[in-house]
Structures are given as C-alpha cells and as structure tokens.
A and B are shown apart, each in its own frame.
Chain A
C-alpha cells in the first residue's frame, strides 16, 4: 500500500507530455485518472520512475459528433460518458458500459483513455469500444496513428500503444437508433466483470458481439457474429459464445463457469 519512490511532472499540453515521455524513456508513465495506475503502484505491481500527469489537459475531455463519427477525447471521464447527450443519442452502448464501472468516485476520476490504455481484459469500456468498431488515435514522437480497436489489445494489460505514445481520441461510428445491449456479471454490485458482453447492431443487420473476462484481452465473439450473420437464431447462436475463447481459470471464477456465463449473458444481450 506504499508505492516505491517516483518523481512527478505535470504536462501542460500534449506536446509537453510527449516530450516528457521521450526524455525518460520507458521509466515514465502517463497519469490520467489514476484509478488503475495508483492502485497498481500501491500494490507495487507498477514502479514507474516518473509520473507524467495529463489529468489537467482539459482539451482532451470532449465528446463531439463529427459527421458519421463520434469523437471522444481520451481524458473524458466515465461519468461524462454516462451523461453526455451526444453519447446517449449516437453511441448509447458506451454510456451503458460506463454506467457499470465501479462506483461514482471511480467513474468521476477514471477516463476512457486510461481504461483502454490500461487494457485490462475485464474493462467494461473495452467491450463497448470493440463492439462499436472504434478507432484509437495515438500521438507519438513520429506523429499520429490510428489503431482499430480490434488490433489494440495485445495481452493482459498490454496494448499496441508504445511507451512514448499518448492516446488522444477514440473515434466511434455513430449508431443512433440501432439496438445495443451491455450485460455484466460481477461478484459484487460494484465490481469488475467476471464476464461481460457488449452487443451492437450495425446498419445492414449485422451484429457485433464483444466479450470481457473471457481471455487475455477483450475480444470479439466471432463465432456468434458469424452464426447470426448466417441467420442462426439468437437462442442458438448464444451457445457459441465461448468458442475459440481461453477464459482464465482463477480464484474469481473457473474457465468452465466463465464459458457458461458467456453463453447466458450473450443470450440475454441478444434478447434485448
């Protein structure tokens, strides 16, 4: 509960933050809401030498409708996502997922960029961004690149983001009026998901299904999606929920129970 020593700088702009990251090499970590990084430091699972605080970069906290896309600034808090009218109208799945994160304190501090960059295999927003086919915008020393959500998560708490990159924006195809559902099963009312499911209908009748807690990364339930696309009824497609997944087997839940939960939750989500 007592972190290792570190030094602290507050970045006044994205450029400054990037400069600090470059200067300290791998020793520096960005600090956004601090609700994943600080606990990890206190448990000594992370011992960064330098914290580069981007928490006050107000310019990275926004939600904008940009043509047929919704642009969400990386520092937008979970709480904002819950309440923002553009989110509610255009990408309500994101609000549904945000609403289920931790407790109000966590939702007030935690940011979408931090949640995605932290890449926890059970992060609620990751499921929503995956199901929405979001694109993550990263700024690095050599410029800006866009990473599709499907390529972003590379392992437990590992992402395609380089140590000197900063996530600035998440771009989501607008999905106004399309059916969506977020189902989360957790041990306690305010807790991480054991398993969670995000479902998003697409124009043209396709349906995207994303799972959390079912593998080393948040992932798409490809077998379910294909079955649905082929016209299999939802009640049957749900039985494919765990196909191809290697759900963790640990003190929280066994892999067989997770596989069962995935079926149940996918079934419930598709019934909506």
Chain B
C-alpha cells in the first residue's frame, strides 16, 4: 500500500459535514466563556468595573486576573512567567483582561462589552525599532529592557573570512508577520466531573496539554482527559498554550458545569499567536564563480507583548538552517528576540525554518545578480552533492540526511523549460505592450521529523519519539492507536497504508484512532513534519511485531516452522503447499484461545511501540515560480508554480501532494498577500478577513508537482516529512521571480507581501 494514492479515510465524514469539531460538542448545562480583550496596546489597568456585566441576564460571573492568582503560571520562559489575564497592565491589543461566563454565547458576548476597563495609557512601541530605542520603557515587567533574549548561536565570527572574500554584499530582508488563520479557530470545552476534568480542545499535542493541565491543578495525569476531536487546521498556532486551555477547566471546576470557549474569527486575528516577524541583516562573502565563502547573519525577532517560550527561541532553528542546501564553510549567526506591543508570536507552519530558507535563497539570487550570473548556475556551484551525504553543516548536531539536491534542481529546470522561459522573458522585455515575465527558483531544505528526545525536550515535550499501538481484532481487522494528533494531515489514511503492508491486513480493515489521552498510550503530537518519519516508523515497528507473532501462531496452526511460511493474500501458507493455508482472521481468533496456543504464548495480537528517531530529517526539493507583472499596475500574476519535492519515501502521493499544495498556497500567500499590520498606536489594521488578505482559489495557480524519492537512512521507513516543505520553499520562489522580472530595471528586492503597490513603486523608483 505504501506509495499508492488511496482516497483518504477521513474525507467521507468531513466532506459531508459529519465531522466533530469542538464547537459541535454539547454537554448538558453547558456554559459559554467569552473574553474581554484589551483595546489598548500598552496601558496600566486602573480599574475594571464588572457590575453592569454581572447584572445582565444569563451572566454567571465575571473574573479578572486576581481571581486566578492561585493558579500557577502558564507554561512560560523561566523567569518570564505569564498569567492568564492581564493584571496591572496590558501589553497588546487583544490581550485577555477578563472572562465572562453566561448561559448563552451571545449573552456572554454582550456582557463582555459591558465590562468597563479603565486604562492609563503608556507609550506604545509597536515595532522592534521603537522597542529598542534608547528611551524605550520596558514592556514586560520581569524584563529590564525590551530585549528579551540575545543569543550568539555560533561562538565565532566570520570577519576574517568576509575580509578574505573576493566579493561581499549586504542585505536587509524582512520576513513579515503572518496569521495562521485555520478554518477552525481555537476552541476549548472543559467539563470537570468528579475527580478531574475532561477537556476537548483544538490542540496538536493532547498528552502535553494533559501534563500541563494536571500540573497546574495538582492532579495525577490519569484524572485529566484531553481530547482533540476533529481539528480544522492548526499550522502550529494551536500548539501555543493559550489561557483558555486552563481557564475553561478552572471555571468548570468552580461552577460545577461544563464551560466552552470558541474563538471568533476577529478574535483569532488578535488573540491567537502569530508567526514569522523577523528582520534579517546579512553579509555574504563569495568568489567570482558565486561560491559562497562566508555568511554573517543577525536576526531580530518580534516576540510580541508577552514572550512565548517557543516563540522567544524560534530563531535558533532559523540559525541552524541558514546554510540551506549549500556548502557554506563558515556561518556566524546571532539573534535578538524583542518585546513589542503586539500580539505574541510563536510557531507557524515551518516555525523558524522558512525564515532561513527565505534568507539564503534571496541571498543566492542577490549574489547571482551581483556577478551577472544565472541564479541556477550560482545554485549549482554551491549545492551539497549527493556523495557528501550525510552532510555535517557548520552547526553541531545538524546533519543532513540523503538527498540529491542537484538532481532536484535539474528536474525543476527541465520541467520549467527554463531556457525557453529565459527567451520568452527577453522577448517580452523588448515588447512594451507585453507583461514582464520573471522566473524564481528556490532550492530548499528544511527540518522535519522532530525529535529526537534531547532536542524536543528543549521545547518542553517529554520526548521526541512517537508511539503506536497495533491491535488485531478477533476477525483479523486492526485498530491502531497513535500518539500524534493530526489536524488535516490524513494520518488515518497514511498510517493505515504503512500498517497494511506490515500486517497483511487490507487497508479497509484498519482504523487509526488518536487524540484522546484516556484511550491512546503516551504520545507526543503533530508538529514539525514528524508524522511519517516518527509516527510512521512507530506504526511500522508495532505492526511488524504483531505480524511476527501472528506468524508464530499460524505456524502452530499449520504444524510448521515460522520460517517455512509465506505470506499470501488471505494469510499464511506453508511454502510450496497451497492446501496448507490459514487466514489472518483465523490466526487472530486463535490468538484469543489460550488452550489452542503454543505453550508460553501470551493472549492476543497486540503491540505498543515507541519509536525514537536517531536524528531530525531534512526534507528538500526545488521549487520554481513563473510570474507575469502588469507594467502599469504592478499586479503580479503567478502563471506557473512547479514543485520538485523530496520527502523521502512517499506513503500516499495524493495526500503528499495535498500537503505540498497547501504549504505552497500559504507560501504564495506570504509572498503576495498576507501581513498582520499595526498602526503606530499598536492597533491592528487588519483584524478581520475583510482586511487580512487570505488569497482565494482564483488567486492561486495550478500546481505542477514532481517527486524525487531519496530515502533517508535515518529511519527505517526512509521518510522525511513534508507538512512544512511547501510553506518553506514558496515565498522566496515567488519573490525571486518578481525581482527577476524587474531586474533589468535595477530592482534588487521587493519586501513581502509584494502587493501591486509595492511592486509598482519598486518599478517606478528603479526606472
């Protein structure tokens, strides 16, 4: 089954509207929780008047920060503990200041508006520059300045190497802030019955959430049940520990009734954490051929008003991936994470790695432009060669697995008809009536398969492994419990394909369950492109162990040795004796008959495996984008988008393409449309989907997707992951194409999102 494009098991329910999302779940006596959010970006809270709100019909209560003073802080950067609601001051527009609980969501929303919060305004610092100004006042109280973290990632600098380089250039690149904007916003339903709570929540790591909740309430973990039902997209933004994950159970405990919180769309745009928002200062040294000799990078990350423990350090991952798929001998990297009066930032599809790929892919293009060389040629001289794999990067512990970067680039150029496009480009440049054509390349590598444990522990997870329990039912069908918590990836399908191959059970006879801590053994979750490289291997291992035991029982039934059996469609057969055959169903049933089993054989056909990856994996590939630019308006139209993807073993080509397409869509969106913006007073300028430019179907091209399958030696399946690849590769493919189209005018950069106005201005100023 591995490698076959079977339709997704998930789709029948989801496409007929029969999925179960948090907001679909009802409990008797349900109460609704709504936040009062700060409308100020930076201010002292002088008074909160809840009287009018409490008096409204249906209102059960209103709570402010001091009512939760006893609850230990949310998971935080040590020393930078954050509470649940703003206490003495607010740090950004959208920060929760109070919660209202009412019998109806609409009544709760009305009551929230009746809560009167009085503020004494403080100076607002909505940008990193403002927050780092000499006279800037510290925003987040435990910190004495707005520099939350400054890290020298590499111990050395590369000043000597840059001095020795025949050429050098500097660039300042901006990777703007984006919102995850999944179809389903954040939601939590908590019901504290008896000794502990059951929590349905839109989360990516239910066991971790269980651990954090149990710890805060002083409960043993078995008393806390966390369920991630169908989750309508997450893109990393549902891995942050939002206050509602703890407030809903706490209020349910106090009120003795179930409490539900479901974010509205407008709320999502200011409350749920954003991603990216990085300024990149780069200097690169290179020779006449374009060989990169040294790279010096300073990253400045906008962490928003309240530092998130993941967000504050994401630039570490950016730093590790700075070399891209190139052999760059010397890299120096440092980063600063800066507090500003904006919504906090944390993980968003790719979390730190797309920023790196963007940086190095833009730099390679700038080098090519400086030397008057073709960007494809400059890539070629720098690419790590297949014979050099596994490749030790300049960063300790960052070792790339098997890949053929040059082959990916060659296939891409071939599929693009690169030479033909270059001719067409010249033709159009000469014709003033024609739209300008640009071709952009992005040869990318990113990190997937998160683990292993020593790395993942740093993000607060118990481990970097994943777990799977494979259990045959007495009729030979199988149920698999997996520790991941997918939210659109299609694990029911892909994991069943892996198990089908190992078990010899038909794909249709396998169910994959996940997302319930009371049902599934300890697990880690879904993030960091770890589904197939980590969970896939756990399933494979557990299924292989079950199959081995089945073989022993079959051998006993056929009065043969296990080694003498061969697998046939229905089950097992004695080699060369077609009549001596037993079905898997018969073997499964037999496994439950103690008196008919070989002596010493335990009952049942079941195995739980924990798979710890030996390393991260490094999905890679080459993307190409062809754009057409209206000379008069600056409007960019993506004519073609071609992907060559190497995610190692492809489990299901259809779902793999889906992951790539979705990621590329988000990448194109970042390049052309999206940016969360604030005015100088820290007020969000696009806190609704009317103003926040999510592209629609008609704005996105058809995708041409090709695979190169270089199996990773780092795990038995040979899979590398691909959930984040598209979003990692695409932004710079588009930007490179735009700059390429305008290069003859002297344009060297256009900041994302490359809106028509920005492109028009770049053309205008250049000419």
Q: Which residues of A contact B (CB under 8 A)?
A: 1-2, 4-5, 39, 43-44, 103, 185, 187-190, 251-254, 257, 260-261, 264
Contact = CB atoms under 8 A, between A and B. Distances in A.
Given A1-B265, A1-B266, A2-B264, A251 B699 contact: no
B686 A251 contact: yes
A122 B690 CA distance: 14
B511 interface: no
Interface in B225-257: none
26 contacts: A1-B264, A1-B265, A1-B266, A2-B264, A5-B106, A43-B266, A43-B688, A43-B690, A44-B113, A185-B633, A185-B635, A187-B673, A187-B693, A187-B756, A188-B673, A188-B698, A188-B699, A189-B698, A189-B699, A190-B698, A251-B677, A251-B685, A251-B691, A253-B757, A257-B761, A264-B632
B506 interface: no
B513 to A, nearest CB: 33
A2 B105 contact: yes
B385 interface: no
Contacts, number: 51
Nearest to A4: B110
A103 to B, nearest CB: 8
Listed residue (A253, A254, A261) with the most chain B CB atoms within 10 angstroms of its CB = A261
Interface residues of B, number: 29
Listed residue (B632, B677, B685, B761) with the most chain A CB atoms within 10 angstroms of its CB = B632
Interface in B635-692: 635, 673, 677, 685-686, 688, 690-691
A264 B756 CA distance: 13
A183 to B, nearest CB: 11
Contact of A1 (B110, B113, B267, B755): B267
A39 B264 CA distance: 13
4 smallest CB-CB distances across A and B, nearest first, come from A189-B698, A1-B264, A2-B109, A257-B757
Nearest to B34: A2
A108 B638 CA distance: 29
B696 interface: yes
Interface string B256-282: 000000001111000000000000000
Contacts of A251: 677, 685-686, 691
B266 A39 contact: no
B196 interface: no
B87 interface: no
Main secondary structure on chain A at its contact with chain B?
loop
B695 interface: yes
A257 B760 contact: yes
A254 B677 contact: no
A264 B633 contact: yes
A188 B685 contact: no
Contacts of B691: 251-252
Given A2-B109, A43-B266, A189-B696, A254 B757 contact: yes
Interface of B: 105-106, 109-110, 113, 264-267, 632-633, 635, 673, 677, 685-686, 688, 690-691, 693, 695-696, 698-699, 755-757, 760-761
Contacts of B685: 251
A188 B698 CA distance: 8
Contacts of B757: 253-254, 257
A198 to B, nearest CB: 18
A2 B673 CA distance: 27
Nearest to A103: B696
B655 to A, nearest CB: 27
Contact of A190 (B266, B632, B673, B696): B696
Nearest to B109: A2
Nearest to A254: B757
A39 to B, nearest CB: 7
A188 B688 contact: no
A46 to B, nearest CB: 14
A187 B686 CA distance: 14
B232 to A, nearest CB: 16
A254 B685 CA distance: 14
B763 to A, nearest CB: 11
B468 to A, nearest CB: 39
A158 to B, nearest CB: 20
Contacts of A185: 633, 635, 756
Given A187-B673, A264-B632, A2 B760 contact: no
Nearest to B764: A260
B127 to A, nearest CB: 16
A4 B690 CA distance: 20
A5 B110 contact: yes
Contacts of B695: 188
B624 to A, nearest CB: 23
Contacts of A260: 760
A2 B265 contact: no
Contacts of B265: 1
Contacts of A189: 696, 698-699
Contacts of A43: 266, 688, 690
B755 A187 contact: yes
A116 B180 CA distance: 35
A260 B630 CA distance: 13
Contact of A39 (B113, B633, B690, B756): B690
Nearest to B757: A257
Nearest to A263: B632
A43 B690 CA distance: 10
A129 B755 CA distance: 30
Nearest to B700: A189
A107 B690 CA distance: 17
Nearest to A257: B757
Nearest to B266: A1
A187 to B, nearest CB: 6
B665 to A, nearest CB: 13
A181 to B, nearest CB: 16
A257 B110 CA distance: 40
A69 B760 CA distance: 42
Contacts of A187: 673, 693, 755-756
Nearest to B635: A185
